[in-house]
Amino acid sequence: MVISVTSIKEIAALAGVSRGTVDRALNNRGGIKSEVADKIRRIAAETGYKTNRAALGLAARKNPIRIGVILPSEGNAFFEDVIGGVQAAEKEFDDFGVTVLLRTMRGYSVDDQLKLIDELCGEDIQGLVIAPINEKKIAHRLNRLIREGIYVITSNTDIEKTDRLCYVGQDYVKSGEIAAGLMGLVADGRPLNMVIFTGSIHVLGHNQRITGFNLAVKQHYPAIQILDVFETLDQTDTAYDLTMRTIEKYKDLDAIYMTAGGVGGTCQALADSGYAGKIKLFTHDCTSESKPYLQNGVISATICQDPFQQGYLPIKMLFSFFLDKQAPESDHIYTKTDILIREIL
Amino acid sequence: MVISVTSIKEIAALAGVSRGTVDRALNNRGGIKSEVADKIRRIAAETGYKTNRAALGLAARKNPIRIGVILPSEGNAFFEDVIGGVQAAEKEFDDFGVTVLLRTMRGYSVDDQLKLIDELCGEDIQGLVIAPINEKKIAHRLNRLIREGIYVITSNTDIEKTDRLCYVGQDYVKSGEIAAGLMGLVADGRPLNMVIFTGSIHVLGHNQRITGFNLAVKQHYPAIQILDVFETLDQTDTAYDLTMRTIEKYKDLDAIYMTAGGVGGTCQALADSGYAGKIKLFTHDCTSESKPYLQNGVISATICQDPFQQGYLPIKMLFSFFLDKQAPESDHIYTKTDILIREIL
DNA sequence: CTGAAAGCGCTTACAG
DNA sequence: CTGAAAGCGCTTACAG
């Protein structure tokens, strides 16, 4: 294997053709005699040819790439970092002709999301990054886009029955297992009574976290006793009331595991009732709402999912995909899960 | 503020000069009338001109950048991921004319390290990434390089009294605090008797971890009792013997905190003596040696320092530095510290 | 002190 | 089916 920097120019010389022809062969643009194409490809392989991305990016400025992004980020602090990742990618790939069109929405209305999809299609995008609502209408609409040649990557949450290119987000089952691992560390072999506050039993990710939690408890931490599972519907006030009633009901409660939102309410309730730090609280994500409670010890630990990468990676992947026609290695990329405790902030 | 993509060509037209002159003004190359330079810079600022990195990188191929890397990685599994980061950066910036020259050494001999530095200087490098031995001779040698115009970034561990551009590595004090935070979580308010196994009291980073640990214990976890501090000298067999003797001596030992190497020895001793999982073990880093013990529960948790970034970032920073003459934002960049437990692997 | 030209390695109309 | 040329946005000798 010869290790040397080769250019399309050298390949052309070696093959006795023009650079345009090399370009056609290497990028499968067609309209080229197959023997010639084969010969060129063979030479490229033998010389270890690798296309130069700087040159590629520079040339790409002539037909810029437009990528749409749709996030339900309004009024949801979690998405701040996702947007940060989107913006970082936009800045980094701007020089290579990438333009990002960001559209945000509040909550999870299917009609709102459909409207934003239509809006972006009118903007002539070639790629779409979306945190989709897992709903048939959305799936149909996305599949239509895909048939029209727009490539779709789902971020943060996935959607079933679509031909999206890739999902970028957390491994929800694993994140539940990690929660159990932390609780097991605290239990330290002693019996531990706990309840689970989930967001909604209709949300796939929340259920997957419970599944993971149960799995790990069964496998490694038999002393952990799950007394009950309640829904907060991601609402702060619901979580507050729920927490108050739970404290009332289970006098020997050691811990609470929250799979989803409403964290501020539960924290407030623990503080108001004098149980802060006494009943251990484990949560997911770290937002401006929950951070102070991690600082002051109301939350023992929280499990994060690298929101920045959930914004950054999809853009980067679409950019690479359009630039060198390489599909992602897998149809799902799990972002890193990490554990935050007070000292890590 | 006009948001528009401007090029050197447009600036030139606006200023009524040639592109070469714009280049001189914007990159402070001198040999240019100052009124002209000022005018050009003003126009650039007004139009929001941003140099295009794709073009920059492409042009840079004419004078490639050579970066040397020196790591004490031989026989030290920790550095595998650091090297992975170096290689990833090399691959990514290869297209922009960056060449990386990696030299590895075994252990911490000052003479060996000096020899490698000299070797790389003979290779005409413009930048050096090094995990330096914190020793005067090395500092002198590095300062000489720097005077000669070679830019130096320290990685993983820093060195005093040098004009290195930047340090990229862990915040050791903080990592000690995090260890205490984890132990506090396990202690859960109960008294907890523990010992610290440090690498060497002559190694700055190890001491800083102990400092951080003590700080956090004092502030938040008064029930943690540090019975003793011993040195393993990073040796597996020393750690084994030490662990055996410690178990013998302290019958009521709840936990061990290891700031440094020898982890395999302590794990083996805990397993052999039947104390695995009974005496909680907290360590730093996750290598092929320690990983199995995290899997099987001998290690409760380990605190990692993102070795990949310690290899990747210094190369990226030097590349940026040479490309657009921008110094790093700070003279030290702390890599991310994260907590690993069994479930996270 | 300044400009014109060539070149970095690719892509893309355009001609034939 | 193939080639010659122009262009992406920068830098760098070279001339003057």
Query: Using H for helix, E for strand and C for coil, what is the string for A137-199?
Result: HHHHHHHHHHHCCCEEEEECCCCCCCCCCEEEECCHHHHHHHHHHHHHHHHCCCCEEEEEEEC
Confirm or reject contact between B206 and chain A (CB < 8 A): no
Put simply, the answer to whether A188 touches B186 (Cβ < 8 Å) is: yes
Nearest CA to A300 out of A283, A317, A275, A313 is that of: A283
In the prediction, which pLDDT does A1 show? 36
Domain-located, residue A57: no
Residues 6+ apart with CB under 8 A from B236: B261, B262, B264, B265, B268
Asked whether residue B109 falls in the same domain as residue B129, the answer is: yes
Residue A266 contacts residue A237 (beta carbons within 8 Å): no
Residue B203 contacts residue B172 (beta carbons within 8 Å): no
> How far apart (Å, rounded) are the C-alpha atoms in residues A139 and A147?
12
Asked whether residue B223 falls in the same domain as residue B240, the answer is: yes
In the prediction, which pLDDT does B3 show? 43
Instruction: Classify A220 as helix, strand or coil.
Output: helix
The whole-number Å distance from B144's CA to C9's C1' is: 38
> How far apart (Å, rounded) are the C-alpha atoms in residues B260 and B81?
17
In the prediction, which pLDDT does B5 show? 62
Alpha carbon distances (Å) from B333 to B110, B166, B174: 25, 7, 13
Confirm or reject contact between B91 and chain A (CB < 8 A): no
Under-50 pLDDT residues of chain A: 1-3
- Which structural domain, as residue segments, surrounds residue B18? 8-51
Count of beta carbons in the 10 Å neighbourhood of residue B107 = 11
> How far apart (Å, rounded) are the C-alpha atoms in residues A110 and A138?
7
Size of interface A-B (CB pairs under 8 A): 89
Asked whether residue A144 falls in the same domain as residue A245, the answer is: no
Domain-located, residue A214: yes
Asked whether residue B206 falls in the same domain as residue B314, the answer is: no
Asked whether residue A78 falls in the same domain as residue A187, the answer is: no
Asked whether residue B215 falls in the same domain as residue B318, the answer is: no
Residue B52 contacts residue A95 (beta carbons within 8 Å): yes
Residue A225 contacts residue A285 (beta carbons within 8 Å): no
The β-bridge partners of B154 are B130, B167
Burial tier of A13 (Cβ tally within 10 Å: 0-12, 13-18, 19+): middle
Q: Please, where are the H alpha helices in chain B?
A: 8-15, 19-26, 34-47, 53-60, 79-94, 110-121, 136-147, 172-187, 204-220, 236-249, 263-272, 291-295, 307-324
Residue at the smallest CA–C1' distance to nucleotide C4: B18
Angle at B271 between CA B267 and CA B276, to 5 degrees: 85
B189 to chain A: closest CA residue? A278
Confirm or reject contact between A324 and chain B (CB < 8 A): no
Asked whether residue A323 falls in the same domain as residue A300, the answer is: no
What confidence tens digit (pLDDT) does each residue in A203-255 have?
889 999 999 999 999 999 999 999 999 999 989 999 999 999 999 999 999 99
In the prediction, which pLDDT does B1 show? 35
Asked whether residue A177 falls in the same domain as residue A166, the answer is: no
* Smallest Cα distance from A253 to chain B, Å: 14
Question: Of B178, B341, B343, which has the smallest distance from its Cβ to A343's Cβ?
Answer: B178
Residue at the smallest CA–C1' distance to nucleotide D1: A32
Cβ of residue B5 lies below 7 Å from strand C? no
A positions 17-56 inside 8 Å of B (CB): 50, 52-55
Question: Of A55, A94, A178, which has the smallest distance from its Cβ to B58's Cβ?
Answer: A55
Cβ of residue B19 lies below 7 Å from strand C? yes
**What phi, psi does A269 have (nearest 5°)?**
-65, -45
Output Rg (C-alpha) for chain B, integer angstroms: 25
B positions 57-76 inside 8 Å of A (CB): 57-58, 61
All residues of chain A having their beta carbon less than 8 Å from the beta carbon of residue B186 are: 185-186, 188
Domain-located, residue A56: no
Asked whether residue B275 falls in the same domain as residue B217, the answer is: yes
Residues A323, A328, A331, A334, CA torsion sign: negative
Tell me which nucleotides of strand D come within 7 A of a protein CB: 1-13
CATH code of the domain in which B161 resides: 3.40.50.2300
Residue A168 contacts residue A313 (beta carbons within 8 Å): yes
Residues 6+ apart with CB under 8 A from A191: A223, A225
pTM over 0.85: yes
Question: Of B58, B338, B341, which has the smallest distance from its Cβ to A58's Cβ?
Answer: B58
The whole-number Å distance from B265's CA to C13's C1' is: 69
* Smallest Cα distance from A210 to chain B, Å: 14
Asked whether residue A269 falls in the same domain as residue A221, the answer is: yes
Count of beta carbons in the 10 Å neighbourhood of residue B241 = 13
Residue whose tokens read 């934003």: A116
Alpha carbon distances (Å) from A239 to A209, A230, A302, B294: 18, 9, 17, 35
Asked whether residue A300 falls in the same domain as residue A197, the answer is: yes
Indicate the residue type of A123: E
Put simply, the answer to whether A180 touches B338 (Cβ < 8 Å) is: no
All residues of chain B having their beta carbon less than 8 Å from the beta carbon of residue A57 are: 54
Interface test with A, best of B100, B343, B344 (most A CBs within 10 A): B343
Interface test with B, best of A343, A344, A345 (most B CBs within 10 A): A343
Domain-located, residue A319: yes
Domain-located, residue A121: yes
* Smallest Cα distance from A146 to chain B, Å: 30
In the prediction, which pLDDT does A4 show? 58
**Count of structural domains within chain A:** 3
A344 to chain B: closest CA residue? B178
Domain-located, residue B283: yes
Domain-located, residue A103: yes
Domain-located, residue B56: no
Residue whose tokens read 């209709």: A202
> How far apart (Å, rounded) are the C-alpha atoms in residues B67 and A111?
54
Q: pLDDT averaged over consecutive 10-residue blocks of chain B (345 residues)?
A: 68 92 90 91 91 90 91 88 96 90 91 96 94 94 95 94 96 98 92 96 91 97 96 93 97 96 96 96 94 96 97 94 83 96 94
Residues 6+ apart with CB under 8 A from A345: A291, A294, A295
A positions 217-246 inside 8 Å of B (CB): 220
Asked whether residue B312 falls in the same domain as residue B165, the answer is: yes
B positions 178-197 inside 8 Å of A (CB): 178, 180-182, 185-186, 188
